[in-house]
Amino acid sequence: MSDTTVVIKTIGRKTLKAAIHSAKREGFDPLVISDGVNCHAFGEKFIKLGRKWGMYGGMVANVGAAMANTEYITFLDDDDV
């Protein structure tokens, strides 16, 4: 287990898988947060919020930060690869 969680916010883009692999390559623990979009999390920790995309804004990142159980937290969008 890493000392850093990467909270990956997603709206279901095809680049999510690449974002997850990017975090893993750096040795981080990915935590995928969906802003109400159904998507496959590729076996990672996954949390789906219940509203439509765009309704939560920064709240998505805050939920991920609250769920992380590591010393450090960083953030990544699903298209930041």
Residue 27 pLDDT = 94
Torsion, CA 17, CA 65, CA 51, CA 55, rounded to 10: -100
Residue 18 pLDDT = 92
Mind listing the pLDDT tens digit for each residue in 55-78? Answer: 556 888 888 899 999 999 999 998
Do 10 and 37 contact (CB within 8 A), yes or no?
A: yes
Q: In what order do the strands lie in the sheet with 4-10?
A: 45-48, 29-34, 4-10, 72-77
> What residue spans define the domains of the chain?
4-77
Q: Please determine, for residue 8, whether its predicted confidence score (pLDDT) is greater than 80.
A: yes
**Which pair of tokens denotes residue 43?**
């076996």
Q: What is the pTM of this model?
A: 0.80
Identify the helix (H) or strand (E) that includes residue 53: none
Mind listing the pLDDT tens digit for each residue in 13-66? Answer: 889 889 989 999 999 999 888 876 666 555 666 767 666 555 556 888 888 899
